[in-house]
Amino acid sequence: MDDQQITQITAILSERSLGRSSSIPLRVVLDALMPAGIKQYMLMELVSRLDKELIHSPHLSKIDLQDPSIGRLRETLLKGLAAGYLLSRDEFSSLLHNAVRFTGHYLTRPQLTIENLLFEEHQDITLPFLRARLEYCADYRYFGRFLQEVLVRRHADRISRDECRTLLARIDEQIVRQHTPSELAFLTKPIFDFVLLKDTSFEDSIPLEPVLTFFEDKKMNLLKDYIASICRLRESATITISALADLIRGLNEGRDREGTVPSVQPEPNTPEVAEERAATPKERAGTLADSAQEEVMPPADEESPLPDIRTLMDEKQRQRFVRHVFNKDQAYFYGVIATLNTMLSWKDAAVYLGKVYDINKLDPFADVVVEFTDLIQKRFNTPAEASR
């Protein structure tokens, strides 16, 4: 997220909590209406500062602070002290700004942000340090759980930056593998809550860019490009969780239709179920292919009286259209076909094709473009269309 968005969100949250006061206890901040990730960052930053003072206290230097029983008391004490800490206006403003910046980056680029958070100073860290640093992250808790589970299972007490990067990618691959379209879309809800500064519904919309960045971080570039293409063709710069779920579902159904292994489980009945399953995936052995490398197609409208455009072209034609009309962009090609399949008149399709050709600076009289146009028009040369 850019600096302007960060500054705007910081100003709104400052007014909600501090207002015109000269100071504020962190406890009041933690009760204020703001995203959980921002509160968690502010709490843990103060805990970290107080912990450094505790470690260097001469009277406590002889105590084994790494003892498990003492560690639990230490954590409880520090969080209690941090909650009661009185922040001056300047301290609060600086801490809030850093919290908003970190949370914005983390929500949209979790893999990259976690890596930078853990390995800011060293290329190799201990398991206790990893646990402590991951306390800064209130959302996407599955990352921390799986990282620690893998290290414990390996009887490892340290992890390198390269190894961590690989594990983070594997974790996200498993998330993609084991969750339904609705669950995957629901994983983006913290982004919606952060941008709109409220508990959002499935129909609240936000700018498209943070969502695209989220899927780019997961290396789901095919889905990212598909979403961007559809929204561009629909002249929409925003998206909802509901619309996002529909787009993901369309891609998965297209993959199933082509005979590849299904990647999702049955749909949850409620948002609460989706949230719970999204937060607690089960790890499976092995890895899976990057979803960005898989060729998928969105489904046609099964209730349409007109034929599916895909049935009107052979494989050589499809490859030729992808290469020469859509500049080798399969996601864009599938998006256009999916949109055309929803149209019931050649008049609407012709207007839409005009926009596609204009956006891509195509000559409508070029041979391959004319061939594509004729194929689309062929779909509407049916009795059902003639009667319209």
User: Highest-confidence range of 53-67, 144-158, 242-256, 325-339, by mean pLDDT?
Assistant: 144-158
CA atoms within 13 A on the CB side of 115: 15
Q: How confident is the model at residue 248 (pLDDT cuts 50, 70, 90)?
A: confident
382 inside domain? yes
- Residue 60, by phi and psi: left (phi above 0), alpha (psi -120 to 50) or beta? alpha
Last residue of a domain, one of 150, 178, 206: 178
Can you tell me the distance from the alpha carbon of 151 to that of 144, in angstroms, rounded to the nearest whole number?
A: 11
Residue partners of 101: CB distance under 8 A and separation at least 6:
6
Portion of the chain with pLDDT greater than 90, in percent? 48
Domain match, 133 and 96 both: no
Task: Tell whether the model's pLDDT for residue 86 goes beyond 70.
Answer: yes
Task: Tell whether the model's pLDDT for residue 360 goes beyond 90.
Answer: no
pTM for the whole thing? 0.69
DSSP conformational letter for 200: -
Can you tell me the distance from the alpha carbon of 106 to that of 303, in angstroms, rounded to the nearest whole number?
A: 41
Domain match, 54 and 18 both: yes
Domain match, 164 and 267 both: no
Give pLDDT tens digits for 89-103.
999 999 999 999 999
Domain match, 206 and 172 both: no
In the prediction, which pLDDT does 276 show? 41
In the prediction, which pLDDT does 235 show? 87
116 inside domain? yes
Q: What is the mean pLDDT of residues 190-213?
A: 95
Q: What is the mean pLDDT of residues 2-20?
A: 92
12 inside domain? yes
Last residue of a domain, one of 81, 108, 135: 108
**Rounded to 5°, angle at Cα 179 from 232 and 34:** 70
C-beta of residue 215 within 8 angstroms of C-beta of residue 53: no
Evaluated on CA atoms 288, 293, 295, 301, the torsion sign reads: positive
Q: Which domain holds residue 277?
A: 181-292
Q: What is the mean pLDDT of residues 286-297?
A: 31
Six token digits for residue 356: 């596609």
Domain match, 122 and 167 both: yes
Domain match, 206 and 281 both: yes
241 inside domain? yes
Domain match, 208 and 154 both: no
Domain match, 268 and 192 both: yes
Can you tell me the distance from the alpha carbon of 88 to that of 305, in angstroms, rounded to the nearest whole number?
A: 67
DSSP conformational letter for 221: H
297 inside domain? no
Query: DSSP strand E in the chain: where?
Result: 23-25, 86-88, 124-126, 158-160, 205-207, 238-240
What Rg, from alpha-carbon coordinates, does the chain have?
A: 25
124 inside domain? yes
Domain match, 216 and 272 both: yes
Six token digits for residue 285: 């052995």
Q: What is the mean pLDDT of residues 216-228?
A: 90
379 inside domain? yes
Closest CA to 118 of 168, 183, 65, 191: 168
79 inside domain? yes
Domain match, 173 and 194 both: no
Q: How confident is the model at residue 254 (pLDDT cuts 50, 70, 90)?
A: low
Last residue of a domain, one of 153, 178, 203: 178
Number of structural domains (the chain) is: 4
